[in-house]
Amino acid sequence: MPAALTAWLTGDASADRVVPPSGFTAQLTLFAAGVMTFLTVFALALSLATGRLAERWGDDLARASTVRISAPADQMRTQTAAALRVLETTEGVESAQALSAEDQQALLAPWFGPDVPVDALPVPQLIEVTESDGGFDAAGLRLRLSAEAPGAVLDDHTRWRRPLVAAASRLRTLGLLSILLIGGAMAAMITLAANAALAANSQVIGVLRLVGAKDRYIARAFVRRFTLRALIGSVVGMICGAIAILFLPDQGEVGLLTGLGFRGIEWLWLPLLPLAAAAVAYGATRRAASRVLAALR
Amino acid sequence: MPAALTAWLTGDASADRVVPPSGFTAQLTLFAAGVMTFLTVFALALSLATGRLAERWGDDLARASTVRISAPADQMRTQTAAALRVLETTEGVESAQALSAEDQQALLAPWFGPDVPVDALPVPQLIEVTESDGGFDAAGLRLRLSAEAPGAVLDDHTRWRRPLVAAASRLRTLGLLSILLIGGAMAAMITLAANAALAANSQVIGVLRLVGAKDRYIARAFVRRFTLRALIGSVVGMICGAIAILFLPDQGEVGLLTGLGFRGIEWLWLPLLPLAAAAVAYGATRRAASRVLAALR
Amino acid sequence: MIELDNVAYSYGGAELLSDVSLKLAPGSFHFLTGPSGAGKTTFLKLCYGALVPTAGQARIFDQDVREMTRDDIAISRRRIGVVHQDCQFLDHVSMAENVAMPLKVAGRDVAAEQQNLDDLLSWCGLSSRANALPPQLSGGERQRAALARAVILSPDVILADEPTGNVDWEMSQRLIQLLVELNRMGKTVMIASHDLGLIRATKQHVQARVLRISNRRLQLAGADL
Amino acid sequence: MIELDNVAYSYGGAELLSDVSLKLAPGSFHFLTGPSGAGKTTFLKLCYGALVPTAGQARIFDQDVREMTRDDIAISRRRIGVVHQDCQFLDHVSMAENVAMPLKVAGRDVAAEQQNLDDLLSWCGLSSRANALPPQLSGGERQRAALARAVILSPDVILADEPTGNVDWEMSQRLIQLLVELNRMGKTVMIASHDLGLIRATKQHVQARVLRISNRRLQLAGADL
Ligand SMILES: Nc1ncnc2c1ncn2[C@@H]1O[C@H](COP(=O)(O)OP(=O)(O)OP(=O)(O)O)[C@@H](O)[C@H]1O
Ligand SMILES: Nc1ncnc2c1ncn2[C@@H]1O[C@H](COP(=O)(O)OP(=O)(O)OP(=O)(O)O)[C@@H](O)[C@H]1O
Ligand SMILES: [Mg+2]
Ligand SMILES: [Mg+2]
């Protein structure tokens, strides 16, 4: 921390005594900062979880397609090889892999039971295709496939991919929205609490001005007090929020949901919250103090 | 509305003049009630949506099982009929229905393509079983099925049903938790704002007491003012929240998610929020007023 | 009306007042003097029940102060008009409304008393400032408004703490004259003041007893005053 | 030090003061009288720059009030000690700390001035109450503390608004004597008061000029005062 900031935080202890130590407006600032940070931690966790979710769906679901080859048993091998060649040379295809007999059997098990000899059935060959980021041109690929391997059918899952991607991005929007909402409410609440506190202390400000204190001296005493209060409240709220997130029931990943929580480097978002709260309190108190002071001479 | 309440709300206009009309603490009460109600609307919507989701998953997914019958072609019909008889007499089974050839073909299409003649394949017959609320005894059913229809295999989806039900109930918990959190924060914030406002008005209370006002007169003026303020702020917050929910992007149902919003009768939850805010403000102001008054004689 | 019986009071440390006994009879007129910090304001607060004696018994309208409920105290304040040394008002309503405040909280019809209110304000030289907010008043105007507020309910007892500290001699004569008139109508009056000139001047118009607080005791001042 | 040149002031309505010209020379001693509500407090506020004249020019330490920055005003207040009519304090710190507040905000070493502070408090009869919070002081004690706070920086000019309204005669003599001593050391003193007895008594010790506000003008009072 730069020395100037340290000095500012430690402060001129004597100057701080001019601000009344506590009272409801002080508690309000502490509490508002604490509670709103607590809620923001949850909103942030939600936002990050939905971000992860959207990413996973985008990656795993949206970028996987299937090519199905139905052909007489004797042509199966050649057509499969031809289709794989086509896929390997298609721009936008990251990898293409023919499913082994066991994989296909596993897939069909719910319908045929585990014991049915897949080999003996005219089961089509499946090829799993993973798209690269850009995706491929489905129509062009279909044309080329029909030329090289007439039994190949491309199923790019667009039908059921679209709504899931839409759902994922909706969730992401929701997470962002909630973080904006709660963050905005935190800022507004801290601002109002600072204003209320300064209004309640207008006598102090008047007396200080009358005995010859400069605006800077007065504003600084209040700004430091309130910034520290918001910072402390917010740190406490952040810690409580983090603990609550850690102790949320069942953190495993189930179904399509990822756990509500922070992973590794994501924890580093948390310390930003108290800093933001302190910054808001700093700005709000400065503005409120100069407003109150401007009304005095 | 009972006449007493109407009278109380309309109030003795002259008595209300003794409370200063506005100021930051007043704005704080209005704003805290408004913002927190706004957030609670979202938490409520989330809670209801996850409730719906959990219910749907519980209903549609958890209560569906499948019986698969693999048998030589000539025994297929008799074994299917036997299995259906068993299922119909099993306690906990609501309905059991053999899938038609077309249904089965549709299910198999992704693997075999739409043109494969299912009839010509040794495809097992599938029976869809819907459980009643209590569910059935899977082990008992398996025993009876193996006696009556040796080719029948019961697949009750327990494997992948469990995690989804767990996820749904996690979501429900999350919704409830968020509503508790935000609702609790609202109550605390309104309480603190009322306290701050009363502390800021301690001179008014002192003067009124000195000129012979009874405690009831003083408390009532403040309580009415603050209850109305919280009510108004909360109604505004509720309306804004409802509008925001209505205009959320894309309200369709996609994938496993239901839309974040209110359905029909669920809207009736909303008016409860301002009433709760007003009740909190009423209690908080009463307590704060009697605390301030008790310190005077 | 008000009876103190061997009353003592301390703010936590040493006793400020000891062994104070006094009976305020209806229609009596008292002055209270004593050096600054002697306990005049404290004594008046004991008289209107704002403080409870640490020893002895205080009775207001024949009720023991210790046994009065909060509502009893509120009611008693409608029969005792008090001018406080640091006069405080509702800063957001006009001076005239502040003066009428005791009528309002007592549930009386303010409109019916409008004439009385106007007369009172004009006697105190406040008519032109009736619509000003209290923070816009001069020090003397505030003091006069506080006196007007104390007598608006025409209470049985009037306790005034330095009611003329901030007003000029002519105006203080007018204010005292108002209190003397009220005393002639049977009201009990007690004025705390260290303006000996004022006390001497008043004694020419009314039979006043002068009490002095010194050495923690309440004494009757000599005839020289 | 302070110069008013054809100054007028109004709070929005009619003019309260008109055509006021005055030059406060270093070492002068002035009294300011006038009926309650005449504008004494307003006049003093013009003198220390809390109000800006609506017409005419006011100069404080050779600076035009209209051109002073907020920091200039703050600095000028360290050279002008003011006793306000409604003395206000920081209610959460002790009286002694309140009296020392001007030292603190001026960045002076409070510890080094401890002896001065103690002497001053004991002269004003406040030693025993040094640790009390302002709301625990009596009216007169507050006024004395306000006077002590006004002179602690030993300012060039002392403006006192009714500094003795709430204190007894002996104490007011002591306080005036303090101001007279400071005047002898070259400080400029102006006291607003309507206690004519006090003014007469003081004129026996110091050459004081008595100013009177009447009919919106500032006049020199006759020799009878
Ligand atoms: N902020 C204000 N707004 C409007 N009018 C005001 C304001 N302050 C004072 N006045 C009016 O200006 C007049 C002069 O006030 P000022 O306080 O200067 O009188 P004063 O001579 O000090 O009187 P006193 O001896 O009673 O203290 C009064 O009538 C008062 O009501
Ligand atoms: N709330 C309190 N707590 C502690 N001490 C107090 C309190 N109020 C007053 N005192 C002290 O009690 C003493 C008497 O105070 P009081 O106000 O009764 O004096 P007073 O005679 O009215 O003086 P003045 O003429 O200056 O108004 C003073 O020394 C004062 O400091
Ligand atoms: Mg007193
Ligand atoms: Mg004045």
pLDDT, tens digit (0-9, with 9 covering 90-100), for A287-297: 888 888 888 87
A135 found inside a domain: yes
The verdict on B92 and B47 lying in the same domain is: no
What are the distances in angstroms from CA B161 to CA A255, B50, B167? 9, 17, 10
What's chain B's average pLDDT?
77
The verdict on B279 and B236 lying in the same domain is: yes
State pLDDT tens for residues C32-42: 999 989 999 99
A72 inside 8 A of chain B by CB: no
A156 found inside a domain: no
The verdict on A122 and A84 lying in the same domain is: yes
A58 found inside a domain: no
CB C44 within 8 A of CB B210: no
What is the share, in percent, of chain C residues with pLDDT greater than 90? 69
Q: Which atom of ligand 1 is nearest to the CA of C143?
A: 26
Residue C149 — φ and ψ, nearest 5°? -65, -35
CB D55 within 8 A of CB D7: yes
Cβ C162–D165 below 8 Å, yes or no?
yes
List of chain B residues whose C-beta atoms are within 8 Å of the C-beta of residue C78:
212
Residue B169 has pLDDT above 80, yes or no: no
Q: How are beta strands D80-83 and D63-64 bridged, if at all?
A: unpaired
Residue B96 — φ and ψ, nearest 5°? -140, 130
Residue with more model confidence, A265 or B279: B279
The verdict on A175 and A288 lying in the same domain is: yes
CB B284 within 8 A of CB B230: no
CA-wise closest residue to A36 among A175, A191, A171:
A191
The verdict on A182 and A271 lying in the same domain is: yes
- For A296, name the nearest residue in chain D, comparing CA atoms only: D50
A194 found inside a domain: yes
Average pLDDT over residues B128-152: 79
Q: Which residues pair with B130 in a beta bridge?
A: B64, B95
CA-wise closest residue to A233 among A176, A270, A267, A277:
A277
CB C102 within 8 A of CB B220: no
A158 found inside a domain: no
User: Helix H segments across C25-138?
Assistant: 40-47, 70-77, 95-99, 101-105, 114-123
Nearest by CB to residue D105, choosing from A20, A217, A293, is A217
The verdict on A40 and A80 lying in the same domain is: no
A157 found inside a domain: no
Name B177's Cβ contacts closer than 8 Å, sequence gap at least 6: none
List of chain B residues whose C-beta atoms are within 8 Å of the C-beta of residue A181:
38-39, 42
Average pLDDT over residues C88-101: 93
B178 found inside a domain: yes
List of chain B residues whose C-beta atoms are within 8 Å of the C-beta of residue C68:
none
Q: What is the rounded CA–CA span in Å between residue A138 and residue A155?
A: 9
For Cα atoms D121, D124, D127, give the angle at the middle one, nearest 5 degrees: 40
- DSSP state, residue B100: P
Residue D110 has pLDDT above 50, yes or no: yes
State pLDDT tens for residues A226-240: 888 889 999 999 999
* Confidence bin at B122 (pLDDT 50/70/90): low
Domain boundary among A99, A118, A150: A150
B107 inside 8 A of chain A by CB: yes
Average pLDDT over residues B82-107: 80
Domain boundary among B82, B115, B150: B150
- How far does CA C7 lie from the centroid of its chain? 20
Residue B144 has pLDDT above 90, yes or no: no
Residue C13 has pLDDT above 60, yes or no: yes
Tokens standing for residue D210: 């008595």
Domains of chain D: 1-79+155-225 (3.40.50.300), 87-153 (no CATH)
What are the distances in angstroms from CA B252 to CA A164, B97, B218, B255, D112? 12, 31, 53, 10, 77
Where in the sequence is the domain holding A44, given as residue range(s)?
Answer: 3-52+171-295
CB D203 within 8 A of CB D180: no
Name A49's Cβ contacts closer than 8 Å, sequence gap at least 6: A175, A257, A258, A259, A260, A261
State pLDDT tens for residues B22-77: 677 777 788 888 888 888 888 888 778 777 766 766 665 555 677 878 777 778 88
Residue D59 has pLDDT above 80, yes or no: yes
Q: What is the rounded CA–CA span in Å between residue D41 and residue D11?
A: 13
Q: What is the rounded CA–CA span in Å between residue A113 and residue A115?
A: 6
Residue B253 has pLDDT above 50, yes or no: no
What pLDDT score was predicted for residue D152?
93
Residue C148 has pLDDT above 90, yes or no: yes
Q: Is the CB of D165 under 6 A from ligand 2?
A: no
* Confidence bin at B86 (pLDDT 50/70/90): confident
Show the beta-strand stretches assigned E in chain A. 64-69, 93-98, 125-131, 152-155
The verdict on A206 and A284 lying in the same domain is: yes
Residue D131 has pLDDT above 90, yes or no: yes
Q: Is the CB of C37 under 6 A from ligand 2?
A: yes
Q: Give the distance (Å) from ligand 4 centre to CA of residue D37.
A: 7
The verdict on A114 and A48 lying in the same domain is: no
The amino acid at residue A103 is: D
Residue A219 burial by Cβ neighbours in a 10 Å radius (0-12, 13-18, 19+):
buried
Cβ C74–B208 below 8 Å, yes or no?
no
pLDDT along chain A (297 residues), means of 10: 63 70 75 85 79 67 70 80 85 81 69 60 75 75 82 67 62 74 79 78 89 89 87 92 76 51 83 90 86 84
CB D98 within 8 A of CB D89: yes
List of chain C residues whose C-beta atoms are within 8 Å of the C-beta of residue D40:
138
* Confidence bin at D138 (pLDDT 50/70/90): very high
CB A274 within 8 A of CB A241: no
B165 found inside a domain: no
Highest mean pLDDT among A281-285, C189-193, D216-220: C189-193
Q: Is D39 helix (H, G, I), strand (E, B) or coil?
A: coil
Count of domains for chain A: 2
Asked whether at least 3 C-beta pairs link C and A within 8 Å, the reply is no
Ligand nearest the Cα of residue C35 is 2
CB A297 within 8 A of CB D51: yes
Residue A167 burial by Cβ neighbours in a 10 Å radius (0-12, 13-18, 19+):
buried
The verdict on A184 and A268 lying in the same domain is: yes
Name A240's Cβ contacts closer than 8 Å, sequence gap at least 6: A34, A38
Q: Which atom of ligand 2 is nearest to the CA of D139?
A: 27
Q: Which residues pair with A291 in a beta bridge?
A: none
What pLDDT score was predicted for residue A11?
60
Domain boundary among A150, A183, A203: A150
Site to probe by mutation for ligand 1, drawn from D9, D33, D42 as the one with most ligand atoms within 8 Å of Cβ, is D42
Q: Is the CB of D141 under 6 A from ligand 2?
A: yes
The verdict on B117 and B30 lying in the same domain is: no
The verdict on A48 and A78 lying in the same domain is: no
Q: What is the rounded CA–CA span in Å between residue B149 and residue A165?
A: 44
The verdict on A124 and A216 lying in the same domain is: no
- DSSP state, residue C186: T
Q: Is C187 helix (H, G, I), strand (E, B) or coil?
A: coil
